[in-house]
Chain A
Amino acid sequence: METRQTGENAIRVGFLVTASTSILVLFLILLFLFVEGLPIFQKVSVSRFLFGQEWYPTSSPPDFGIFPLLVASLAVTLLSAMMAIPLGVMTAIYLAEIASARIREVVKPVVELLAALPSVVIGFFGMVVVAPFLQEYLDLATGLNLFNASLMLAFMSVPTICSISEDAIYSVPRELKEASLALGATHWETILRVIFPASLSGISTAVILGMSRAIGETMVVLMVAGGAAIIPTGIFRPVRPMPASIAAEMAEAPFRGDHYYALFAIGMVLFVFTLCFNLMADHIAQKHKQVGAATL
């Protein structure tokens, strides 16, 4: 009896330690991020940093205004969401509601395989195939631009959006669907009026997680966004989102210099964005939790 109790306790503690490890690691990384990022605000004010138009970290005197980078990140994320949401959600509806079991078995893993593609491969594809194509057929000045980056990011967020949405749609209680059909609604009406609203919270979560993946993605935007630190005037203009700037400049920034601190501060801004996205997703998931058919 004694030994069983000890064994149970040991297992309990073991799991507790494992669970706290990831929290501890997250906490340490955050601490590091803020310790290395905050010193820049002794040199520039928070508003100058966030809304400054000029990003010239290495000239003397340097300018640390990340507004063009911030706008670029938001623009790329929004445009990619506009492409990825219809694609992801419609694929999910097709898979959960319309496709036969056999097609579903084939298509779902293939869509999820898209998530397994390394981002550098997607970036390479965008750079070598899509960029010259855009230049050629749309007669653009450069194929490395906002649109190209958004398209590549859409490829990356579709699997996330599709997979989570599909789970949400699939778990809509069967009674709801049956009731709708029994009342004489067609399959299409049932999907649009019953199943889609019932799974809306799950779909929203999927969309937000997909977008948070897009905003933090580095390799793709570094390779195909073009890298001009300007506020874009159109979707075919080159931009430089925040992660691209960090990745391109960090290796050569003098350790613990102002540039180094500024790059960490950009990391803080990025972190705040993804944190907001995740809190939003969590909030929606909690608030509109579907518990059985009665709550609809």
Chain B
Amino acid sequence: MKWTAMLFALIFMAGLGPASGVAGTLRIDGSTTVLPFAQKLVEAFMEKHPEMNISLSGGGSGNGIKALIDGTTNIANSSRFLKDEEVKLALERGVYPVPFAVAYDCIVPVAHPANPVTDLTMARLKAIYMGEIKNWKEIGGVDKEIIVVSRDTSSGTYEVWDEKVMRKERVFAGALLQASNGAVTQAVSRNKYALGYLGIGYLDKSVKALTVNGVPGNEETALSGQFPISRALFMFTKGWPTGDTLTFINYVLNPTKGQKLIREAGFVPLH
């Protein structure tokens, strides 16, 4: 009995060792939306602090928060705030996740570059995603069925869309579901009659960004709140950060360091 207990203790120590705070190592996990700029932040940070060893992975917001609660990561990236279930689980384990808003993300509706439609109102976007408007000709386009492209219902991007555009209504079941920003870009850029939505960091020339209520989605409109579909992106720490975690969070929030990189990565910095 004693033997097995010791064995278990050993396994646990081996498993939890790196995350339980060996100086100079940090683990970051979470949202795939945050991943592109987190990658840049980590690279630049490690260049300035060569003694630091940071491992970064993107298992999704839910997985990141779970890892933070389980103690297997130091920082959880998330494209949304905590859910009730997660708060409950954290409190059960005696963990207090502290949120830091690090950037803004702006979700922009996109269509094929050849599509004549350039602007959609929030009401029309909602009606299209509810399956009420089915044809482009109803909104000033050609007489073709609208191919509605949406994200998997548990992605952070979908949640923002759901919250800002759908407002408690459900995306109709006939919408195509794609599992990543990249897959949405693929689907929309290869279909002349598709309508989708992307995080602003993923916009490129293969798709056409549409204006919403006449407002283009960009840095100023996202921060000023004019653009209606934007959200904050978070880094969560386990309790108030100390040591290396604090150094890193400070770096991320610094206007001339981290925030500059966030802008370069195509996201909207706080300042």
In the complex, B53 has a CB within 8 A of chain A: no
Binds B, one of A2-10, A86-94, A189-197, A245-253: A245-253
Are the C-beta atoms of B176 and A144 separated by less than 8 Å?
A: yes
Q: How far is the CB of B95 from chain A (nearest CB, A)?
A: 13
Which interface class (under 10, 10 to 19, 20 to 34, 35 or more) fits B? 35 or more
Q: List 12 A-B contacts (CB under 8 A).
A: A55-B173, A58-B153, A59-B153, A142-B194, A227-B176, A227-B179, A247-B179, A251-B59, A254-B83, A254-B85, A256-B85, A259-B154
Chain A residue, CB-CB nearest to B67: A255
Given the known inter-chain contacts A56-B153, A58-B154, A248-B152, please indicate yes or no for A229 contacting B59, CB distance below 8 A.
no
Complex CA–CA separation, A250 to B155 (angstroms): 10
- CB of B270 within 8 Å of the partner chain: no
Least distance between A248 CB and chain B CB atoms (Å): 4
Seen from chain A, the residues whose Cβ lies within 8 Å of a Cβ on chain B are 54-59, 68, 127-128, 131-132, 135, 141-144, 222-223, 226-230, 238, 240, 244, 247-257, 259
Closest-by-CB residue of B relative to A135 is: B191
**CB < 8 Å: which of A54, A55, A144 contacts B187?**
A144
Give Cα distance in the complex from A249 to B153, angstroms.
Answer: 7
Give 1 or 0 for each of B47-70: 1 = CB within 8 Å of chain A CB.
000000000000111110110010
A-B pairs with beta carbons under 8 A, tally = 98
Taken together as a complex, chains A and B put the C-alpha atoms of A247 and B155 apart, in Å, by: 12
Q: Tell yes or no: B209 within 8 A of A by CB.
A: no
User: Other than the known A58-B159, A254-B65, what 18 A-B pairs have Cβ atoms closer than 8 Å?
Assistant: A57-B153, A57-B154, A58-B162, A59-B170, A141-B144, A141-B145, A142-B176, A144-B187, A228-B175, A230-B174, A244-B177, A251-B59, A251-B63, A252-B63, A252-B155, A255-B89, A256-B89, A257-B85
Residue of B nearest to A238 (CB): B176
9 cross-chain pairs, A with B, having the tightest CB-CB distances, nearest first: A227-B177, A251-B60, A252-B154, A248-B152, A255-B66, A248-B179, A252-B60, A249-B154, A252-B62
Q: Which chain A residues lie closer than 8 Å to B250 at the CB level?
A: none
Whether the Cβ atoms of A56 and B194 lie closer than 8 Å is no
Q: Which residues of B contact A68 (CB under 8 A)?
A: 173
Q: A229-B177, A249-B153, A252-B60 are in contact. Are A56 and B183 (CB under 8 A)?
A: no
Interface string of B190-211 (1 = CB under 8 A from A): 1101100000000000000000
